[in-house]
Amino acid sequence: MWSRRDFLQHAAVVAAITGFSGGLTRVAAQQKLTQDSLLEFDAKGQVTLLHITDIHGQLKPLYFRPPSENIGVGAFEGIPPHLVGEEFLKHFGIAKGTPLAYAHTMVDYVNMARTYGRMGGLDRTATLVKAIRGERGDDKVLVLDGGDTWQGSYSSLKTNGQDMVDCMKLLKPDAMVGHWEFTFGEKRVLEIIEDMGYPFLASNIVDNDFEEPVFESTAFLDRGGVKVAVIGQAMPYTPIANPSWMIPKWSFGIRAKLLQENVNKARAQGAELVVLLSHNGFDVDQKLSTVVEGIDVILTGHTHDAVPRAIKIGKTLVMASGSHGKYLGRVDLEIRNGRVVDYNSTLIPVFSDVIARDKEMAAKIDEVRAPYEKECKRVIGKTKGLLYRRGNFNGTWDDLICEALIEERDAEISLSPGFRWGTTLLPGQDITIDDLYTQTSMNYPKVYRLEFTGKMLKDILEDVCDNLFNKDPFLQQGGDMVRVGGMGYTVAPKLEIGSRISNMTLLKTGKPIDPERKYVVAGWASVNRNTEGPAVYDLMEKYITGKKVIDMPKNEAVKVIGI
Q: What is the mean pLDDT of the chain?
A: 94
Q: How far apart are CA 88 and CA 96, in angstroms?
A: 11
Whether the per-residue pLDDT at 548 is higher than 60: the answer is: yes
How confident is residue 29, by pLDDT bands cut at 50, 70 and 90? low
With CA atoms as reference, report the closest residue to 232 among 185, 290, 301: 301
Q: What is the pLDDT of residue 8?
A: 34
Q: What is the pLDDT of residue 222?
A: 97
How confident is residue 563, by pLDDT bands cut at 50, 70 and 90? confident
| Cβ(218)–Cβ(228) below 8 Å | no
Q: How far is CA 378 from CA 381, 387, 431, 434, 523, in A?
A: 9, 18, 8, 8, 26
Mean predicted confidence (pLDDT) in 414-442: 98
Strand pairing class (297-300; 316-320): parallel
Mean predicted confidence (pLDDT) in 288-301: 97
Mean predicted confidence (pLDDT) in 58-62: 98
What are the strands of the beta sheet with 218-223, ordered from one edge? 218-223, 226-233, 273-278, 297-300, 316-320, 311-313
Mean predicted confidence (pLDDT) in 87-109: 96
Whether the per-residue pLDDT at 6 is higher than 70: the answer is: no
User: Which ranges in 370-483 belong to alpha helices (H)?
Assistant: 373-376, 396-408, 433-440, 454-469
Whether the per-residue pLDDT at 193 is higher than 50: the answer is: yes
What are the strands of the beta sheet with 447-453, ordered from one edge? 447-453, 518-524, 413-416, 483-485
Q: What are phi and psi of 543, to 5 degrees?
A: -65, -50
CATH topology of domain 377-560: 5'-nucleotidase;  domain 2 (3.90.780)
Q: How far apart are CA 34 and CA 28, in angstroms?
A: 11
Model confidence over 138-161: pLDDT tens digits? 999 999 999 999 999 999 999 999
- What radius of gyration do the chain's Cα atoms show? 23
Q: Which residues contact 31 (CB under 8 A, 6 or more apart)?
A: none
Whether the per-residue pLDDT at 328 is higher than 50: the answer is: yes
Q: What is the pLDDT of residue 9?
A: 36
Whether the per-residue pLDDT at 17 is higher than 90: the answer is: no
Model confidence over 269-290: pLDDT tens digits? 999 999 999 999 999 999 999 9
How confident is residue 30, by pLDDT bands cut at 50, 70 and 90? low
| Cβ(99)–Cβ(115) below 8 Å | no
Q: How far is CA 99 from CA 32, 278, 491, in A?
A: 10, 28, 34
How confident is residue 12, by pLDDT bands cut at 50, 70 and 90? very low
Q: What is the pLDDT of residue 28?
A: 63
Q: Which residues contact 190 (CB under 8 A, 6 or more apart)?
A: none
Domain ranges of the chain: 40-64+119-368, 377-560
Q: What is the pLDDT of residue 14?
A: 31
Mean predicted confidence (pLDDT) in 449-474: 96
Classify each residue of 175-213 as buried b or exposed e, where b means 16 or more C-beta atoms within 10 Å of its C-beta.
Answer: bbbbbbbbbbbeebbebbbeebebbbbbbbbbeeeeeee
Mean predicted confidence (pLDDT) in 37-65: 97
Q: Which residues contact 197 (CB under 8 A, 6 or more apart)?
A: 169
| Cβ(42)–Cβ(331) below 8 Å | no
Q: How far apart are CA 466 and CA 112, in angstroms?
A: 35
Tell me what percent of the residues of the chain surpass a pLDDT of 90: 93
Whether the per-residue pLDDT at 420 is higher than 50: the answer is: yes
The architecture in CATH of the region 40-64+119-368 reads: 4-Layer Sandwich (3.60)
Model confidence over 351-377: pLDDT tens digits? 999 999 999 999 999 999 999 999 999
How confident is residue 31, by pLDDT bands cut at 50, 70 and 90? low
Query: Which range among 13-17, 262-266, 480-484, 556-560 shows the weakest confidence by mean pLDDT?
Result: 13-17
With CA atoms as reference, report the closest residue to 165 among 439, 370, 364: 364
| Cβ(431)–Cβ(379) below 8 Å | yes
Whether the per-residue pLDDT at 427 is higher than 50: the answer is: yes
